[in-house]
């Protein structure tokens, strides 16, 4: 095999990954799977697709070996093939933000305008947790995602339950809310609600996947 043939074969496979990820719903599915394993029914509901359509999109991702399948009794669970898939998704998001003005504008109007206080970064939050500073970390993702894995010590209060559970949060402690990642809309909405209720609150600049991939403490069930 010539050098040209080797290069052609390699770049054909590289393009295969790019082609598979070049679909908004597939990227959203990968984003959800970076939170933890999910059934096709859960995924279809979360991304607002018909079950057959979601199954078809997952099949494409599976054929490209970006997702894996695990059977447990009558249930079939989808998950990411490995952490490199989540890193690929994060790289795509970062390139889009730095190179596409449309992404930057959406972030400005739907994140920064709604939450003018600078988010807390991973380093500062980890320092405060280690120092025992008064801070409560709140995971506002759906409960199934929290149960699949979360920042160690975080409290689960899904966004839709937040208004009815404010009394569970100490009034004299700063709240740090987080969700799926830097482009997840759940944490900014939680910050708005908490600030309107008079609470001191900041948003974590990243989400659970970024925290986990950074090697920081998490709590997650063991898969057998």
pLDDT of residue 187: 93
CA distance 187 to 204: 8
179 is catalytic: yes
Domain boundaries, the chain: 3-85, 109-219
How would you write 210-221 as a 3-class SS string?
A: HHHHCCCCEECC
Mean pLDDT of the chain: 91
pLDDT of residue 224: 44
State pLDDT tens for residues 208-217: 999 999 999 9
Let me know: does 100 contact 139? Beta carbons within 8 Å: no
Tell me, rounded to whole angstroms, the distance of Cα 148 from its chain centroid: 12
Options 34, 86, 179, 184, the catalytic residue? 179
State pLDDT tens for residues 112-143: 777 777 899 999 999 998 887 789 999 999 99
Let me know: does 178 contact 35? Beta carbons within 8 Å: no
Pairing of strands 218-219, 150-151: antiparallel
Pairing of strands 174-178, 135-139: parallel
Query: Which candidate, 59, 51, 55, 66, places its Cα nearest to that of 21?
Result: 66
Q: Hey, which CATH number is domain 109-219, 3.40.250.10, 3.40.50.720, 3.30.930.10, 3.30.1490.100?
A: 3.40.250.10
CATH code, residues 3-85: 1.10.10.10
Which pTM was predicted?
A: 0.89
Q: In sequence order, which residues have a C-beta less than 8 Å from that of residue 126 and are 6 or more positions away?
A: 216
pLDDT of residue 171: 87
pLDDT above 70 covers what percent of the chain?
A: 98
Band of pLDDT at residue 222, cut at 50, 70 and 90: low
């Amino acid at each position: 095999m010539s050098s040209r043939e080797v290069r052609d074969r390699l770049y054909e496979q590289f393009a295969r990954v790019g082609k598979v990820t070049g679909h908004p719903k597939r990227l959203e599915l990968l984003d959800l799977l970076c939170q933890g394993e999910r059934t096709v029914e859960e995924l279809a509901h979360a991304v607002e697709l018909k079950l057959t359509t979601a199954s078809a999109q997952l099949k494409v991702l599976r054929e490209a070996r970006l997702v894996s399948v695990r059977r447990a009794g009558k249930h079939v669970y989808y998950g990411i093939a490995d952490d490199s898939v989540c890193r690929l998704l994060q790289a795509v998001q970062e390139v889009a933000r730095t190179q596409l003005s449309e992404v930057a504008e959406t972030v400005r109007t739907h994140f920064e305008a709604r939450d003018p206080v600078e988010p807390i970064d991973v380093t500062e939050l980890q320092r405060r947790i280690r120092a025992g500073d008064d801070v409560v970390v709140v995971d506002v993702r759906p409960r199934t995602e929290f149960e699949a894995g979360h920042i160690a010590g975080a409290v689960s209060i899904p966004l839709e339950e937040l208004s009815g559970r404010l009394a569970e949060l100490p009034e004299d402690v700063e709240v740090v809310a987080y969700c799926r990642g830097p482009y997840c809309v759940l944490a900014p909405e939680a910050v708005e609600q908490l600030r309107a209720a008079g609470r001191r609150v900041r948003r974590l600049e990243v989400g659970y996947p970024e925290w986990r991939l950074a090697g920081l403490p998490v709590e997650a069930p063991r898969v057998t």
